């Protein structure tokens, strides 16, 4: 295990220089490049533009991180250094899920900063926000911040029978939308006066860099959370149909999914 700053005796100006030159493990966290350190790293010794966040481990396995927080005192599972500021949720943490991968590389903070110079910060923030929502859908299904999410039919589910079909087709064939039959495709912060129409235009003409779905189409569902109020809309052939049960259906599905994931860690 790598030693932390205190164990290495790093302090003062020389200590700061050594810390910046030290090699850290490279990771992809919430779809953005970052650095990982086993020990603790104090924000005060870091150069401008580098942010430090703590990882919290499970009680059953403190070394296995499940959340990103500003400061962790118990079950500290490592430190993340990143050039992209993370917006912690109203709960003060971000669920990690499967959103951290070790790349196998090593880099100093200076080397990392050089790599990040070619990337546009707004694009990196947008990618991170999407991954944050992917790791914790509850931020979109009932959180506090203004957000949006796009869902598309899981082609292995029964809903494939009405994929790309208008809402009238469903009702005329005795079918109904079920949130469990959909997959989270993309989401993020809802900006300014963004509307369903502006989202439709954006996800048809200007796909984000890491968007993996098809262009927003009939049978897709758009969830919009604004002013702490969350609503779901079915994209129809003309306009949108509000789905009053989609949010509760999706919450039930996600809750079961997260419980299964946590049980695997705690076994």
258 vs 260: CA distance, rounded Å: 5
**DSSP states of the chain:** ----HHHHT--HHHHHHHHHHS-EEEEEETTEEEEEESS---GGGSPTT-EEEEEEE-SS-TTSEEEEES--SSSEEEEEEESS-----TTSEEE-TT-EEEEEEEE-HHHHHHHHTTS-HHHHHHHHHHHHHHH-THHHHH-SS-EEEEEEE-TTSGGGGGTT--HHHHHHTT----GGGEEEEEEEEPPTT--HHHHHHHHHHS--TT--SPSS-TT-EEEEEETTEEEEEEE-SSSEEE-TTHHHHHHHHHHHHHHHHHHHHH-
Q: Please list, in sequence order, all residues whose beta carbon lies within 8 angstroms of the beta carbon of residue 23, skipping any fewer than 6 positions away.
A: 106, 107, 108
Q: Please list, in sequence order, all residues whose beta carbon lies within 8 angstroms of the beta carbon of residue 95, skipping any fewer than 6 positions away.
A: 66, 67, 135, 136, 258
More confident residue, 28 or 58: 28
pTM for this structure? 0.85
Termini Cα distance of the chain: 24
Residue 17 confidence (pLDDT)? 61
Q: How confident is the model at residue 265 (pLDDT cuts 50, 70, 90)?
A: low
Residue 120 confidence (pLDDT)? 93
Judged against a pLDDT cut of 60, whether residue 103 lies above it is answered with: yes
Q: How confident is the model at residue 14 (pLDDT cuts 50, 70, 90)?
A: low
Query: Nearest-5° angle of CA 87, CA 93, CA 96?
Result: 95
Q: How confident is the model at residue 4 (pLDDT cuts 50, 70, 90)?
A: very low
Judged against a pLDDT cut of 80, whether residue 13 lies above it is answered with: no
Q: What confidence tens digit (pLDDT) does each residue in 111-144 have?
A: 999 999 999 999 999 999 999 999 999 999 988 8
Query: Nearest-5° angle of CA 149, CA 250, CA 32?
Result: 40
- pLDDT > 90 in the chain, percent: 73
Residue 259 confidence (pLDDT)? 84
Residue 209 confidence (pLDDT)? 83
Sign, CA torsion 257/262/265/267: negative
- pLDDT > 70 in the chain, percent: 91
Judged against a pLDDT cut of 90, whether residue 63 lies above it is answered with: no
């Amino acid at each position: 295990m790598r030693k932390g700053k205190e164990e290495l005796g790093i302090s003062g100006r020389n200590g700061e220089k050594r810390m910046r030159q030290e090699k850290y493990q490279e990771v992809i966290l919430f779809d953005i490049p970052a650095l990982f350190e086993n020990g603790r790293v104090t924000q005060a010794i870091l150069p401008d533009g580098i942010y430090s966040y703590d990882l919290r481990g499970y009680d059953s396995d403190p070394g296995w991180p499940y959340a990103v927080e500003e400061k962790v005192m118990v079950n500290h599972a490592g430190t993340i250094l990143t050039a992209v500021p993370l917006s912690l949720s109203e709960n003060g943490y971000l669920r990690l899920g499967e959103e951290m991968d070790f790349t196998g590389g090593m880099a100093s903070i200076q080397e990392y900063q050089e790599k990040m110079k070619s990337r546009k910060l707004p694009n990196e923030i947008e990618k991170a926000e999407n991954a944050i929502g992917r790791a914790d859908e509850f931020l979109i299904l009932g959180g506090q911040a203004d957000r949006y999410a796009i869902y598309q039919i899981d082609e292995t589910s029964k809903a494939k029978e009405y994929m790309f079909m208008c809402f009238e087709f469903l009702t005329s064939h005795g079918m109904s939308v079920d949130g469990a039959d959909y997959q989270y495709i993309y989401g993020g912060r809802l900006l300014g006066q963004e509307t369903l129409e502006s989202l439709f235009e954006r996800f048809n003409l200007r796909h984000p860099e890491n968007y993996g779905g098809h262009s927003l189409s009939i049978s897709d569902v758009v969830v919009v959370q604004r002013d702490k109020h969350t609503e779901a809309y079915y994209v129809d052939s003309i306009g949108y149909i509000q789905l009053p049960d989609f949010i509760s259906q999706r919450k039930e599905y996600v809750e079961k999914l997260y419980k299964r994931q946590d049980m695997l860690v705690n076994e």
